[in-house]
Amino acid sequence: MGLLRLSLKRCFLYVFCATVMILLVMNVRQKELWHSIRADGQSQPIRPLPETNKIKMKLSLPLKRQRQKKKTKKPLTVIPRVRSITQDKAFNKVFELSNVTGTTSASEPISDFSDPSKRPWYMKGGTKRPIPAVKSKKTGRRIARLWPDEDPNDDRITNQLMFVPSDYDRSSERPPKKIMIPHGMNEAKVGNELFQWLGCPVSNCVITRDNPDSADLILFKDYVTHIGRRSPNQLWMLYFLECPYHTQTVKNAIVNLTATYRRDSDIVAPYERWQYYDPRITQISQTFNYAANKTKKLAWFVSNCHARNQRMQYAKELSKYIQVDIYGACGTLRCSRSQAQTCFEMLDLDYNAPYRSYIHVDEFESPRELADYLHRLDRDDELYNSYFKWKGTGEFINTYFWCRVCAMVHDNRQPKFYKDVNEWWRGDDVCTLNSWRENENRSHGNRRNRNYHQGNKNKINFGDKGKEILHDIDESNPVIQQFRGYASELDDKHDRYERIVKFSRDITIESKRIIFLLHTIDKESKTDGILSEAKLRLDNLAKTLFKNIAHELNNQDPYQYLRAYTAGLQEYIEAMTFYNYLKDDSLLDWTEVDKNLTYADQTAAAAAAEAAEKNKNDDLDDDSPSEYRTLMTPNEYILGVADLTGELMRKCINNLAFGDIASCYKTCNLVKEIYKGFLGCSGNSSKEIRRKFYVLKQSLVKMENVCYTIKVRGSEMPKHMLADAAIASVENYPPDDDEGYQAY
């Protein structure tokens, strides 16, 4: 058999042909990539924006150092800011890892954001639902980043909204996760209804108000209460929406999870969150001139005039250089809550403030520099409109707090524990006693030391006059130490007062809702059901919000804080007495109300019992109180009953509309008896009682006119016209005589 003969010339020919083919294939592939890049680049051209059109303006330097440019009028055009092709691939990969959109492949496009139906479910019109979480092939763990230690630089809200456990099956009959709420959060109804109504991707949860032993998660709002023995695998979550100065110290509690407005919380809980339709595009062209017809420059709506961050002093200093219109309790202008729509229209028409955009005061060395920039902003429409380039690129989304809580409870993660949640929430490096601008340790960005805001710590601010005087203070001086102690006590008192005011507002709102519920009773309604629900809600107020106030008043002088919650207490008394009248046709005694606001101190009682057990043969003088209460004086009870007469008058007329004439006479007689009681204390009474007495008298006169019309003219006209005639008899009384309520 002969050997294969290869010539050198033939080998060279084969190698040459193979090389040509490889080069040809590489050239064709490179040409296709080049065309694709050009096509993508032409669809969204990248051009440099004018200096005045940058959203994030560099204002760290004083305005006098900034380079002045000639002001030229240009049409309002904004070029979409986009990412490169390489950035898009990395961006898609990040979206795959976080499971934000539900994509499972980096090569798959994120979504067609121009079509609302293809947006995530939590956006308006969005229908895209999450898929079960993707797990790593190496570790077997989920890839989605849900917790602060997994992604500390993000709030992880969208990740949590799009998270579904890999083993979650909506159709299975697994027992639901139980979330127990021991107090507060009355809007969360018991059961599974809330999660179904919200359309949560993970909805196998139920809310309970009792049986803490069987709960998977106990959610404490604002403070931790004693609920008995804790189950070994039970999670405790602390939910704060107020700042640390307006929340109570958590004592001896092992907390697993936190839900606050802070980014390092386990569940970040803002009111809303801005979400781009397409995160690659943060600017779009604007054709509307937002500066057109703008007549005013600066408005401030504020009710707390003594905030710790010294914002009031800053505003007064700013008003020296630019007009600042202050609405509310701290200024001379008014825009009541009842005219909220008018206020918003005024903002749009007169001030035209950049809605949900801001200029940070800390970017300027002084209020004067801020005023200079605002004047410049007012003169330059193009610069002003640059603060609106985000419009149309996204929307503010509901963060679906309860959906995320349910989803996170289902995450199979080893529970963590906060060693000291107070240190995390209000530690030395978290909060400052004065302006937050003085907190160097937690400042962000390239902020410099600013003489106006920081400077020497011995600087004393004299307030309205804006004068600052330096003193050499000897901290070891006993007088200085004494005044430091006074300052700390005053701060504690102010914080306690603010917390009680917040509780009082919540009590007022809930009491008004209960009164409205009671007004829905008529002959055809389920009276017993409405009364039962009202009773349940009244008891819940006493067990939660009023108990919170009682905690705050414990070991304090309650008369110093009575003014903070008297409005809520009067509204509660009005609702309580109104309920009792509809149930028993009688007026509730003030001692019964006081009894509802008195609570047993279980800790003190247990300590007293233990001491008595140890000293059976000794005579102990136990002066420690075994109960604590929310102080209610007879004055608050009288004022609440005076408000009750207005509700009785309205109930009388409402019943008349349904043909219930007999109840009008009965109710009128009760109001007459209350009026006689007020006659005995109207001589040397307070201004508040005299005002309430006037309102009571007007309510009685209206009811007497109604009863007179029924009695005298009842035989002259058909019954179906009697109600209209009775209502017409009180039309001459203006609404202001009855605290803004109409009689019908």
Return the structure tokens found at 442: 């937690």
Please give the model's pTM, rounded to 2 decimal places.
0.52
3-state class of 470 per DSSP? strand
- pLDDT at residue 52 greater than cutoff 50: no
pLDDT band at residue 208 using 50, 70 and 90 as cut-offs: very high
The mean pLDDT of 649-657, rounded to a whole number, is 78
Q: pLDDT value at position 161?
A: 93
Q: pLDDT value at position 319?
A: 83
Q: Residue 674: give its domain's CATH number.
A: 1.20.58.200
The structural domain count of the chain equals 4
Q: pLDDT value at position 54?
A: 34
Is 127 a member of any domain?
A: no
Q: pLDDT value at position 496?
A: 86
Q: pLDDT value at position 727?
A: 59
pLDDT tens-digit profile of 660-685?
A: 777 788 888 888 888 888 777 655 56
- pLDDT at residue 121 greater than cutoff 50: yes
The mean pLDDT of 623-652, rounded to a whole number, is 83
Contacts of 348 (CB under 8 A, 6+ apart): none
- pLDDT at residue 207 greater than cutoff 60: yes
pLDDT tens-digit profile of 701-714?
A: 888 887 777 777 66
Q: Which residue has the tokens 């003969």?
A: 5
717 and 609 in a common domain: no
Is 232 a member of any domain?
A: no
486 and 583 in a common domain: yes
Q: pLDDT value at position 472?
A: 57
pLDDT band at residue 574 using 50, 70 and 90 as cut-offs: very high
The mean pLDDT of 39-51, rounded to a whole number, is 35
382 annotated as ligand-binding:
no
Which of 60-69, 215-224, 556-565, 570-579 shows the lowest mean pLDDT across its residues?
60-69
465 backbone dihedrals φ, ψ, rounded to 5°: -75, -15
Is 334 a member of any domain?
A: yes
499 and 383 in a common domain: no
Is 7 a member of any domain?
A: no
- pLDDT at residue 619 greater than cutoff 80: no
486 and 603 in a common domain: yes
pLDDT tens-digit profile of 446-483?
A: 333 333 333 343 444 434 434 444 345 666 778 877 88
Question: How far apart are alpha carbons 325 and 336 in whole angstroms?
Answer: 15
- pLDDT at residue 640 greater than cutoff 80: yes
Last residue of a domain, one of 30, 49, 65: 65
560 and 487 in a common domain: yes
Return the structure tokens found at 525: 């309604």
- pLDDT at residue 569 greater than cutoff 90: yes
| Helix (H) or strand (E) run with residue 177 in it | strand 177-180
- pLDDT at residue 24 greater than cutoff 70: yes
488 and 609 in a common domain: yes
pLDDT tens-digit profile of 587-604?
A: 888 888 888 899 887 655
Domain ranges, residue 39: 20-65
592 and 640 in a common domain: no
600 and 659 in a common domain: no
Question: How far apart are alpha carbons 699 and 668 in whole angstroms?
Answer: 9
pLDDT band at residue 656 using 50, 70 and 90 as cut-offs: confident
Mean pLDDT of the chain: 73
Question: How far apart are alpha carbons 703 and 30 in whole angstroms?
Answer: 91
Q: Which has more pLDDT, 414 or 67?
A: 414
Contacts of 206 (CB under 8 A, 6+ apart): 176, 177, 178, 179, 190, 191, 192
Q: pLDDT value at position 163?
A: 93
- pLDDT at residue 572 greater than cutoff 90: yes
The mean pLDDT of 333-360, rounded to a whole number, is 56
Q: pLDDT value at position 87?
A: 46
510 and 541 in a common domain: yes
DSSP 346-414: HIIIII---TT----GGGSSSHHHHHHHHHHHHH-HHHHHGGGTTTTSEEEE---HHHHHHHHHTS---
Q: Which has more pLDDT, 49 or 500?
A: 500
Q: pLDDT value at position 6?
A: 61
Q: pLDDT value at position 404?
A: 94
643 and 556 in a common domain: no
Question: How far apart are alpha carbons 329 and 304 in whole angstroms?
Answer: 7
DSSP structure class, residue 26: H
Q: pLDDT value at position 647?
A: 87
Q: pLDDT value at position 177?
A: 92
- pLDDT at residue 442 greater than cutoff 50: no
Is 179 a member of any domain?
A: no
pLDDT band at residue 238 using 50, 70 and 90 as cut-offs: very high
Q: pLDDT value at position 50?
A: 34
665 and 602 in a common domain: no
DSSP structure class, residue 430: T
3-state class of 487 per DSSP? helix
Is 472 a member of any domain?
A: no
The mean pLDDT of 623-632, rounded to a whole number, is 76
- pLDDT at residue 744 greater than cutoff 60: no
Is 6 a member of any domain?
A: no
The mean pLDDT of 89-103, rounded to a whole number, is 43
574 annotated as ligand-binding:
yes
pLDDT band at residue 396 using 50, 70 and 90 as cut-offs: confident
- pLDDT at residue 257 greater than cutoff 80: yes
pLDDT band at residue 296 using 50, 70 and 90 as cut-offs: confident
Which of 307-311, 346-350, 687-691, 701-705 shows the lowest mean pLDDT across its residues?
346-350
494 and 601 in a common domain: yes
Q: Residue 490: give its domain's CATH number.
A: 1.20.58.190
Last residue of a domain, one of 324, 358, 388: 388
Is 596 a member of any domain?
A: yes
pLDDT tens-digit profile of 162-188?
A: 999 988 877 777 899 999 998 888 888
Report the alpha-carbon angle 649-652-657, nearest 5.
130
Q: pLDDT value at position 461?
A: 41
